[in-house]
């Protein structure tokens, strides 16, 4: 059963000819209130059909079903000494990661010229076309569509907040976002959290600005409410699930909130395709409003995300390398 505390925000009116200011304001208000109250919202009507969302999940499943040797050719340097990439590419199940997930990630967008020396700008590795025909084209088209959607969402944020449009646009000039494919195996035997729930992904907040999640029918995602209860964020056909990250909470001075969430251990495999809509690597993020406490210090996105990556098991080896930059 769906929980009404995570609203469904219909964006379709935004893409109709001659959309009125009133209609746009209503959409912005619905999304802004969701981001301020619970930090999550389902997005419907964003020019992404259920068939297109399902296609991407199907491409992810095809990729993970490749022989291990073929996936290993696309692995990052931590798992393939011959790889030129430290960040973009495939990572196998990592020792010490209780989720036992494997993943593949690519960059979406073109970095600003002054950021091309950073890890964000690595070339995306792709499977040979004969091994996975159509895979690259499907992911590139999907990533471009979510990049456009992310920018539309920023515009709605600015409308709701009454400010920030220029700051958002400047920070996202020359941005490179991340599209990640993840497969979790059957979760039997997974460790339990304090409340006894067995999880594949422990309770956490996302570190970035906005996550747009395409999840399969397996479900299991839960959101932690202010009253202390966990509620299900079950998949809804034809929607993406948006959630606020820590950096957006900082950026808005706490007007939007990053909410803790977790994923219950699945029965059978689970495919998840999150899109992390990220600012330009060298963008300086300055809080637009002051929260209850002293104003937060501005952060440079590349420095911020590198520090956050030190807490992820799949990047632990890399971020411990003094040459990582």
Q: Where are the domains of the chain?
A: 8-319
46 DSSP 8-state letter = S
Q: What is the pLDDT of residue 190?
A: 67
Q: What is the pLDDT of residue 195?
A: 78
Q: What is the pLDDT of residue 154?
A: 97
Sign of the C-alpha dihedral computed for residues 20, 21, 26 and 27 taken in this order: positive
For the entire predicted model, the pTM comes to 0.93
Q: What is the pLDDT of residue 114?
A: 78
Q: Which two tokens stand for residue 96?
A: 């010490």
Q: What is the pLDDT of residue 293?
A: 62
Residues lower than pLDDT 70 in the chain: 1-4, 188-191, 290-295, 311-325
Q: What are phi and psi of 192, to 5 degrees?
A: -105, 150
Q: What is the pLDDT of residue 202?
A: 86
Pick the CATH number of 8-319 from 2.60.120.330, 3.40.50.800, 3.40.50.300, 2.60.40.10: 2.60.120.330
CA 266, chain centre distance (Å): 20
Query: Which of 178, 298, 301 lies closest to 250 in space, CA to CA?
Result: 298
- Interval 79-114: pLDDT, tens: 899 998 988 999 998 777 777 899 999 999 988 887
Q: Which two tokens stand for residue 93?
A: 């199940």
């Amino acid at each position: 059963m769906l929980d009404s505390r995570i609203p469904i925000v219909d964006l379709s009116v935004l893409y109709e000819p001659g959309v009125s200011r009133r209609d746009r304001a209503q959409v912005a208000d619905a999304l802004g209130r969701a981001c301020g109250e619970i930090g999550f919202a389902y997005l419907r009507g964003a020019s992404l059909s259920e068939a297109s969302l399902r296609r991407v999940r199907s491409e992810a499943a095809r990729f993970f079903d490749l022989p291990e040797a073929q996936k290993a050719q696309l692995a990052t340097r931590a798992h393939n000494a011959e790889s030129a990439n430290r960040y973009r590419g495939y990572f196998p199940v990592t020792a010490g990661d209780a989720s036992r997930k494997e993943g593949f990630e690519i960059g979406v967008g073109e970095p600003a010229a002054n950021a091309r020396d950073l890890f964000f700008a690595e070339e995306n590795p792709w499977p040979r076309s004969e091994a996975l025909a159509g895979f690259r084209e499907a992911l590139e088209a999907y990533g471009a569509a979510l990049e456009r959607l992310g920018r539309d969402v920023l515009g709605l944020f600015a409308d709701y907040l009454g400010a920030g449009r220029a700051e958002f646009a400047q920070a996202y000039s020359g941005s490179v976002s991340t599209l990640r494919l993840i497969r979790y195996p059957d979760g039997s035997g997974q460790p339990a959290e304090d409340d006894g729930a067995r999880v594949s992904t422990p309770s956490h907040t996302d570190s970035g600005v906005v996550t747009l999640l395409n999840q399969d029918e397996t479900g299991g995602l839960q959101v932690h409410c202010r009253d202390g209860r966990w509620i299900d964020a079950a998949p809804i056909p034809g929607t993406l699930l948006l959630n606020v990250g820590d950096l957006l909470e900082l950026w808005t001075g706490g007007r939007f909130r990053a909410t803790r969430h977790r994923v219950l251990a699945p029965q059978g495999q689970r495919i998840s395709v999150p899109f992390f809509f990220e600012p330009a690597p060298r963008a300086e993020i300055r809080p637009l409003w002051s929260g209850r406490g002293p104003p937060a210090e501005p952060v440079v996105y590349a420095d911020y995300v590198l520090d956050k990556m030190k807490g992820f098991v799949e990047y632990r080896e890399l971020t411990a390398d003094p040459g990582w930059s």
